[in-house]
Structure 1
Amino acid sequence: MTTAKDLFIIAMDPTPEHAVGQGDLSLALAGAELIDLLGAGAVTVDGDRIVPGGPPISDDRLLSEAAARVTRQPPYERIEDWLWRRGRDLSAAYQAVLEEDGELTRKRSGRLPFGSEHVEPVDTPSRRRAADRWEKKEPVLAALASVVGIDGGRSDDEPGLGDEAVTTVVAAVHDAVMELEAVRQRRAIENAAFANLWRGP
């Protein structure tokens, strides 16, 4: 399992008090993939640019796909641009793959036979591994989860990420999520103004 899959499983757990938005999660998943590619030596970070490195040694489909989509021509891609490009509908891609692999199951909520469906993690070794990383407050997983609003009870005196490139990626994910929230708020204001215009005085 990858950091991105662990993050997705943590986000799908029915216990978080704060529901994670699909857009926020997609951006964080793209950041998690980038951090795993950094760890595998498949990319490096130079300032705010993603520089391709060696081929990643991974049998994970989505991580291999991410590596294949890294821009290999100078001046290379900015981290922020990667997050938006790679992150498009990425949470849906992870859900599909994890359902296919038997890591997620669909359940109906409510008493009615046609109640709304939701997905839940299955109790597998992968889920237990993700939960173990979460309980140990593994810094990268905890930092990415915090960006999308999942609070693991981290305290300010806990160790940092310990790697400048990883810190840069997490900061870029945070900025992208804040930008997405600003867009949402702007649209909400515009929609409210439009509705008031139609209602008239």
Structure 2
Amino acid sequence: MAEAGREIAALIEQVARLPGLGPRSARRLVLFLLKRRGQTMLPLAQALERVARGARDCAVCGNISGAEVCDICTDPRRATGEICVVADVADLWALERGGTFRGRYHVLGGLLSALDAVGPEELRLPALAARVADDGITEVILALDATVDGQTTAHYIAEALEGTGARVTSLAQGVPIGGELDYLDDGTITAALRARRALD
């Protein structure tokens, strides 16, 4: 195989590793990019390189940012005393799409899971407790998936924050059992956020 063929095959292999893409979709995508090298492929490659070099986790909330502290954490208008706890950055982005929540966030980096051997020490739970204690937080909103792992994590957090004075609430109506936030429409997320309830 010619050198160019090996390079293209390697690119297809890398693209096929992306979520939702298999070898056939990866081949189609790479072919599309190759046909539009100047207009699409080169700008995409440059953007990927810039993000790969510059993106980092926000030191405060765990969001992905181009700076040490993200725009949400540095925005004084969002110092409302409310922290919305999410499992992953995708969930944070889903909530931001709706534009309803005007407080700040805390990204756990996953959910507690006995099956996957994910305990509290693997998540950003100590950092959450520290923020609640140090930042005058009055409400912690748990925007976690309506799954067994999400509910387990929610109850763990509620117990850990007992006695802090912060009210712990969770998303209410509109989030189906087994539902993941990133796949819900903006209207459902907005309704669930507005109708949040105290966690039992």
How high is the TM-score relative to the length of structure 2?
0.23
Which of the two has greater helix per residue?
A: 1
Ranked by relative contact order (alpha carbons within 8 Å, sequence separation 6 or more), the top structure is 1
- The structure with the largest alpha-carbon Rg is 2
